[in-house]
Amino acid sequence: MAQRAIPKEIEEKMQKAKDMKPEDMLFTYKGVLYPSLLCKPENFKAMERFEAIEDDILLVAYPKCGFNWMSHVLKKISDAAHGKRGETAQFTLLEFADPEKLQNLSKLPSQRIMGTHVQPKDIPASFFEKKTKVLVIFRNPKDTAVSYFHFYNKNPALPAFDSWDKFFSQYMSGEVMLGSYFDHAVAWEKHIDSDTVKIITYEDMIENLTEGIQQVARFFSLTLSDEQVQAIAQESTFEAMKNKSKETHGQMGNVIFRKGGVGDWKNHFSEEQSKELDTKFEQCLAGTKLGAKLKYEVHCK
């Protein structure tokens, strides 16, 4: 049986969202919007005190950049490397964990696998102090925007947008949940040469999933056989995960898994919007190592 990725309590909160007013679905903490059903200010205060250990695994991504996909891949890699079969503890999203859950997480044995959508400055300092390895996945900003738009409109815990144009405007200004894509990108660019941070891209993983799995395993010093790599790749294609999404993610499966491809932005962006984002990319990431990794000319032109 596939391991359940979305706890039932989150599904229960999704049900509560049906009775909420759109203006109550998000709250601001330190200038950034978060989902009020899943996050509380006390969660972030508890995060600040969280103690990482060196062999923890931390996955980070701006929303809709492949986070759920990579959390699945990481658990598969860890299980295979440690000779387990679906025994990895529940993947924990740090900002969704209340103080009690974070306390319980602190008591778990290694190797703990955790994730977050927050910027480096909001990640518990202990991850950097202990030199815990951090895997960051980025996706090209145009496809990220389109995926995020649909995620907003299919997710009962978020206020829907009545038009793509309105969403695009707020995406560009950073007035969406978790803030600006480009703020995240600029912040992680500063860590790109760190031995404990590895940045991969959604597009590279799509293009060569087998090689991506091998790179991630090596980064975390986990040994896999060729047969294990192939098995993980077969179980981790978008199609395979979407087919099992009801089993693994419950009602959130249809929210999380949509198309999973590259280039859908062309079906949504106007020429003016495309040029506006091109200009923003030039201002924020042109000439940077992360900018080069994103292969903007290939995926966004």
Is 82 a catalytic site residue?
Answer: no
The size of the chain, in residues, is 301
Given a contact cutoff of 8 angstroms between Cβ atoms, the answer to whether 198 and 138 are in contact is no
Given a contact cutoff of 8 angstroms between Cβ atoms, the answer to whether 220 and 77 are in contact is yes
Query: Residue 15 to residues 37, 155, 161: CA-CA distances in angstroms?
Result: 10, 11, 20
Q: What angle do CA 82, 214, 286 make, to 5 degrees?
A: 130
Active-site residue, selected from the candidate residues 117, 184, 249, 268: 117
The tokens describing 293, both together, are 């990794």
**Could you tell me which residues are beta bridge partners of residue 200?**
137
Q: Is 116 exposed, middle or buried (0-12, 13-18, 19+ CB in 10 A)?
A: buried
DSSP characters over 177-190: BT--HHHHHHHHHT
Active site residues: 117
